[in-house]
Structure 1
């Protein structure tokens, strides 16, 4: 448990992941019925970009900072779709310069209505303590010190019977793809109608390809795969990330096809260096 997200908060992968999360939450809110967001690897929920650790890598400068600097020049359709995400970030930063970046549980909590709920799981003792402090006294948020992999089994189905399950482990162990597949299998058995968001890095491309093949063979339908790469190539380096969405909102494919060309152009490491994709691994029917 050496991974600390503060070094990477607000980077290109966070931006992509959180935009997808906000689009799914907004879709769920088209119905009045309550839903729950389960975040299995919640982190601290809020990150100080002025801290020594965040400044050491500066990854947010080529992530959220670029997006904020470019948002007003985006096509109108893109601006409308990314507005919930942009508004979440700006709500925590009153000055022009960004200093606070919200993690997934904070973004979810900002967007939730009074009837919706958040469950945030975190095992790392220091991160859990900060997460607990960040949500202290919030009756809509339940914060638990628990291994996220166990949480999938123990927290599903939610009593609301509507829900989003975000699984975004740190990938600091070699078998993390296997862990994700196991969690999806167990979670889907308990809550087949839930929307599962599975984040993964694009680094070892053979492993990514095998992961996708395993997803196709699981017997679970309605699986969308979206990717964003800031650099394309065959080198073994962290140049992109993907979001698997099981039971995606019916509008999500089109929304991502609108957002990703612009987002890639903003985040890529040089003109034409990046790439993106939206593909069905398994269709609903």
Structure 2
């Protein structure tokens, strides 16, 4: 697990999906004055320099955030527009698509936290933890911890304010992620069922390195019987035609009431700009369902 570095994938299509939804949910939850706790179980380095190091090797942002930056901001649907606007604010003075910094989930959270809110970001990798701690050391709203973020949920939930957003973005590079995550979520929901949980998962075309891969989305979906939303963005040629990542998805427990409509406006654009050709789901690069 400590070999994984998110910098390799910074700003790619899965980041666009997960960070667009994270930003939308934070903006929605800020509308109430009551304090909000934001928990990021896998914080990474906070933000990423795309012009050097790991991020510059695969340049995955060129098939992720870059196509969106080439669009006219005023024509973008609100969910995508908010992310593009924040990325541009992270790159002052650079108004074209050639950005050099991309904000990860801790940077997005820090940009949205109010004085009364608090954030807790976890990261186990020593190098990424050092960067995360250095970058947000002066922010009293954020607590940076080198611990297992999933294991730490038990001590953090429920929050005193009874309002929380829990962002869960594992690497899934080890078998234990597939086993532990449902167990942790079952316990967390038992302690605090009214929180907004955002859980990311990969869609992998390889033939079952881990048997749990195929059934994970349905298992996560079944853990909670309340208001829940599932969305997927397909960026490859489909499970039978490619190896590796062909897309990714999110399951959100207790999403904002307007999130489904916001995704219905945004996913056709993301499918067109970032998606592959004929894919699972609706055949147009994305899928969306909600049950309440």
The alignment's TM-score, normalised by the length of structure 1, stands at 0.91
Cα gap change, 1:63/1:219 in structure 2, threshold over 3 Å: closer, same or farther? closer
What is the deviation of 1:73?
Answer: 7.1
CA distance in 1, matches of 2:175, 2:250: 19
1:186-245 residue CA offsets vs partner (Å, 9 max, x unmatched) = 111111110100000011587454123323443532221110011242233201000000
Q: Is the 8 A contact 1:89 1:101 kept in 2?
A: yes
Per the alignment, residue 202 of structure 1 pairs with: 203
Contact 1:74 1:262 in 2 (8 A): no
SS of the aligned residue for 2:158 comes to coil
Contact 1:36 1:163 in 2 (8 A): yes
What SS does the aligned partner of 1:137 have? coil
Residue 238, structure 1, aligned to residue 241, structure 2 = no
**How many aligned positions are there?**
279
Is the Cα contact below 8 Å between 1:228 and 1:241 reproduced in 2?
Answer: yes
Equivalences for residues 251-262 of structure 1 within 5 A: 251-262=258-269
Which position in structure 1 is the counterpart of 2:219?
214
Q: Distance in 2 between matches of 1:17 and 1:216?
A: 17
Map 1:218-229 → 2, pairs under 5 A: 218=223, 220-229=225-234
Tell me, yes or no, if structure 1 residue 67 matches structure 2 residue 74: no
How far, CA to CA, are the matches of 2:215 and 2:276 in structure 1? 27
Task: Name the residue aligned to 2:170.
Answer: 169
Structure 1 distance, partners of 2:253, 2:53, is 37
Counterparts of 1:109-188 in structure 2 under 5 Å? 109-188=110-189
- 8 Å Cα contact 1:230/1:275 also seen in 2: yes
Distance 1:254 1:119, change over 3 A: same
Alignment-derived partner of residue 26 in structure 2: 25
Distance change >3 Å, CA 14–CA 38, structure 1 → 2: same
Rounded to whole Å, the distance in 2 between the matches of 1:36 and 1:24 is: 13
Assess if the C-alpha contact under 8 Å between 1:265 and 1:271 holds in 2: no
- Output the CA distance in 1 between the equivalents of 2:125 and 2:155: 19
Residues 210 and 131 (structure 1), Cα distance of their counterparts in 2 relative to 1, 3 Å cut: same
Match of 2:88 in 1: 90
CA–CA separation in structure 2 for the residues paired with 1:271 and 1:204: 14
Q: How far does the alpha carbon of each residue in 1:49-99 deviate from its partner, in whole angstroms, 9 at most, with x for none?
A: 011321110101111111111243745xx1x33232122211111223200
Q: Secondary structure at the match of 2:175?
A: coil
Aligned to 2:79: 81
For the Cα contact (< 8 Å) 2:165–2:197, is it kept in 1?
Answer: yes
- Note if contact 1:166-1:198 (Cα within 8 Å) is conserved in structure 2: yes
**RMSD in angstroms over aligned alpha carbons?**
2.0
Q: Provide structure 2 residue ranges, at least 5 long, that are not aligned to the other structure.
A: none
SS of equivalent to 2:43? coil
Counterparts of 2:276 and 2:289 in 1: how far apart (Å)? 23
1:267 lines up with 2:274 in the alignment: yes
| CA–CA distance in structure 2, aligned partners of residues 8 and 168 of structure 1 | 13
